[in-house]
Amino acid sequence: MGAAAPDGARSDIAVVGAGILGVLIAGEILARDPAATVTVLDRDMIGSGATRRSAGLHFPRGATETVRTLAAESERFYAGLHALRPDLPIHPLPMTVLAPEAAEERLREVYLPSAKLRWTTELPSAIPQLPAGYGAWQGDGCQYADVHTLTQQLAAELRPRLLFHEGVAVTALDAGPDGVRLTLTGGATLTAGRVVLAPGPWLAEPAWRELVAPLGARVKKIVALHIDVPPQPGDGAIVFQDEDAFLLPFHHRGHWLFSYTCREWDVDPAHIDPAPTAGHLDEARALLTRYAPRLADRCRSGRVFCDAYGPDGHPLVTPLTEDGRTVFAGAAGGSGYRLAPALAARTADLLSLPASPRKATT
């Protein structure tokens, strides 16, 4: 059941959820208000859940202007963080985008200027040939991270300045004249002036289900296959634009990862089998065979989880109560790592905190 916070404890701000987004929100709050008391709670360990299973790919694109703006802000943040802390598990990568030749104008709309997309006849070694009518574009601004390790490292650096409570679930939220009272596992309570819910796909928890339901967010399964072929040192990410899929060389683990769009909606994170089914394997192999049959034959295992999606494809950072003391941040649609820095900044804005002085977010 985990250790609970001391009964009757108080905090200026409570962040519920210690994934990459929750940890970056906590860091952004302290960067803007170093004197704030912040408590971060998670039903599991730091960086568990969707963060632990994240592919961690950041590439500079967005289907809408809103997402492109968020992606650009996050790209600047991560570039600054990597420059300041090259020891962190953030790995810049080359990027190749595969799409119909006729799609070039659309590609230049959805990819950021920093991508510097350029036509190429040089295919990645994993792609022997393209389907008829398809082309390839090389791009910049791509990186991937070991998100689980990164989240833990960032949390470790924050520990001297805030409180983390792992293995502590929130069972009720009750507004009162002196703040929001969080009832925790074991019956202990924590009263916070403001609460940020960053629960990932756990939208239907009894403590906040009624608050979150009007947002219209839904939870969709996410499937990624592990391909038992070692990537070469120069291998980069390969994006299948029309299929909304990608191949990622997991250099730190010694294999490729193939993520494709699974269409299974309204799933419960508490009841997801983490192993891909035969159907998942068949879907992935059928798509990948068009481009990389050698890799398709090696799709035998992988990871399955889920994430929350906003109703219009946009992440959500919004008040949940009229007084604005409880807010929601998330529903990033499988792009939690990619958009987390910008969403953290938006959350701090919503809490009426001053602009951050951190160079990595400018």
Decide if pLDDT at 358 tops 60: no
| pLDDT the model gives residue 360 | 42
The mean per-residue pLDDT over the stretch 226-231 comes to 96
Q: What percentage of the chain carries pLDDT values higher than 90?
A: 93
Amino acid 250: pLDDT = 95
Exposure class string for 196-224: b at 16+ Cβ within 10 A, else e: bbbbbbbbebebbeebbeebebbbbbbbb
pLDDT of 359 > 70? The answer is: no
Token pair for 53:
């299973």
Tell me, what's the pLDDT at 353?
78
Residue 28 vs residues 214, 319, 327: alpha-carbon distances, Å: 27, 18, 15
Contact (Cβ atoms closer than 8 angstroms) between residue 326 and residue 320:
yes
Domain ranges for the chain: 1-89+146-216+311-362, 91-142+218-309
Vertex 171 angle, CA 169 and 172, to 5°:
135
236-294: pLDDT as tens digits: 999 999 999 999 999 999 999 999 999 999 999 999 999 999 999 999 999 999 999 99
State pLDDT tens for residues 54-75: 999 999 999 999 999 999 999 9
Question: Which single residue is written with the structure tokens 């940890």?
Answer: 23
Phi, psi at residue 264, to the nearest 5°?
-90, 110
Contact 303, 274 (CB under 8 A): yes
Mean pLDDT of 161-188: 95
Asked if residue 179 lies in contact with residue 10, where contact means CB atoms within 8 angstroms, the answer is: yes
Fold (CATH) for 91-142+218-309: D-Amino Acid Oxidase; Chain A, domain 2 (3.30.9)
Q: Residue 1 pLDDT more than 50?
A: no
Q: What is the pLDDT of residue 7?
A: 64
Q: Three-state DSSP class for 38?
A: strand
Average pLDDT, the chain: 94
Q: What's the CATH number for 1-89+146-216+311-362? A: 3.50.50.60
Residue 3 has pLDDT above 60, yes or no: no
Mean pLDDT within 65-88: 97
pLDDT band at residue 357 under the 50/70/90 scheme: low
**What pLDDT shows up at residue 313?**
87
Reference 20, options 120, 89, 86; nearest CA is: 89
Radius of gyration, CA atoms only, the chain: 21
Residue whose token pair is 């951050």 = 356
Give residue 153's pLDDT. 97
What's the burial of 118, exposed, middle or buried (CB within 10 Å: 0-12/13-18/19+)?
exposed
Residue 113 CB contacts under 8 Å (≥ 6 apart), including other chains:
none
**Strand 326-330 relative to strand 255-260, pairing:** unpaired
**6 pLDDT more than 80:** no
> Crossing angle of helices 147-158/20-32, nearest 10°?
30
For the segment 214-225, the average pLDDT, to the nearest whole number, is 97
Give whole-number Cα distances, 312 to 61, 177, 235, 239, 331, in Å: 17, 35, 34, 23, 10
| pLDDT single digits (tens) 114-142 | 999 999 999 999 999 999 999 999 999 99
Q: How far apart are the first and last CA of the chain?
A: 40
Measured CA to CA, the distance from residue 250 to residue 239 in angstroms comes to 15
pLDDT on residue 213: 98
Two structure tokens written together for 185: 């596992």
Note the pTM of the prediction, 2 decimals.
Answer: 0.94
Exposure string for 26-50, b = 16+ CB within 10 A, e = fewer: bbbbbbbbeebbbbbbbbbbbbbbb
Q: How far is CA 75 from the centre of its chain?
A: 13
- How confident is the model over 186-205, as a mean pLDDT? 96
